[in-house]
Structure 1
Amino acid sequence: MYHQLNRVTGRLIASHLQNPLFPVAPIALQRVDPPAIQYNTNHMSTVTEAAACATGSRRLIPGTNVPYPPVNESIRKQQDLFQRDNDLPVHLKGGPFDGILYRFTMLLCIIGLGGIAHTIYGHAVPKKQ
């Protein structure tokens, strides 16, 4: 009689099979030396110097000889806007409309918390009849 794991409970159960489900032949262990550590050096890189020089100042996608695609000018302006050091939190750097959206979101959160408090109070204190 062989045992197997029950798929529902995860416990061992006795099965009425005459043969094991997954027969495993005994194999002698072989001694294997661990692989030598290889550090990332220039001779291991897939990027050739000729390809790096051909791209100029453009960076290459790691592990390839393909340069990153050029960034759109509107995206570049947005990056400059959000990376500027002007002591504003990132959710307000988009301008006055971001401030309006932030305040509206905070108002909705306060209204939601008030609704939760009202519901809990309504369930905790029964109505007088």
Structure 2
Amino acid sequence: MYHQLGRMSGRLVAATHLQNPLFPIAPVALQRVEPPKIVYNTNQMSTVSEACPTTSRPKRLIPGTNIPFPPVSEEIKRKQELFQKDNGVPVFLKGGPFDAVLYRFTMLLCIVGLMGFAHTIYGHAVPKK
């Protein structure tokens, strides 16, 4: 038995006019259609060379706009050099002694939390007398 959507209720009802699964559709091959061509709006888009005048180094643009990225400050450049240096120190400790204190404090909180979790589980597993 075949079903269709009812016109009034929108629910699934038994189909009365379908005798076989291909009625009223004939088994015809799908027709090939050319995909639509992508048309770019060239009024709002430009290349880097159009947006920035020719300089020694072309500026990168913020994606989707014609606005160049703002210049990076010297402090940020210095910190990038510090954190990208390959000196064998993990990245979470490269900030100096304050990072080491924060790391150890975080590990202490994790251990205290695990001990509290274990105490709670033990308290629920072993009933008091």
When the two structures are superposed, what TM-score results if normalisation uses the length of structure 1?
0.62
CA contact (8 A) 1:47 1:63 kept: no
Unmatched runs of 5 consecutive residues or more in structure 1: 5-11, 15-28, 38-44
Q: Which has the higher helix share?
A: 1
Q: Which residue of 2 aligns with 1:42?
A: none
Counterpart code for 2:46:
T
Aligned-pair identity in percent equals: 59
Question: Post-superposition shift, 1:77?
Answer: 1.2
Q: Which residue of 2 aligns with 1:57?
A: 57
What is the alpha-carbon distance in structure 2 between the residues aligned to residue 54 and residue 63 of structure 1? 21
Q: Give the root-mean-square deviation of aligned CA atoms.
A: 3.2
Q: After superposition, give the CA deviation of every residue in 1:35-75 in whole Å (9 maximum; x if it has no partner).
A: 469xxxxxxx8216465552431432156543321011111
What is the alpha-carbon distance in structure 2 between the residues aligned to residue 63 and residue 55 of structure 1? 22
Q: Compared with structure 1, are the counterparts of its residues 58 and 69 closer, same or farther at alpha carbon in structure 2 (3 Å cutoff)?
A: farther
Q: How many residues align?
A: 101
Q: Which residue of 2 aligns with 1:116?
A: 117
CA contact (8 A) 2:93 2:100 kept: yes
SS of residue paired to 1:54: coil
Q: Compared with structure 1, are the counterparts of its residues 115 and 63 closer, same or farther at alpha carbon in structure 2 (3 Å cutoff)?
A: closer
What is the alpha-carbon distance in structure 2 between the residues aligned to residue 87 and residue 58 of structure 1? 35
In the TM superposition, structure 1's runs of 4+ consecutive aligned residues that sit over 6 Å from their partners are none
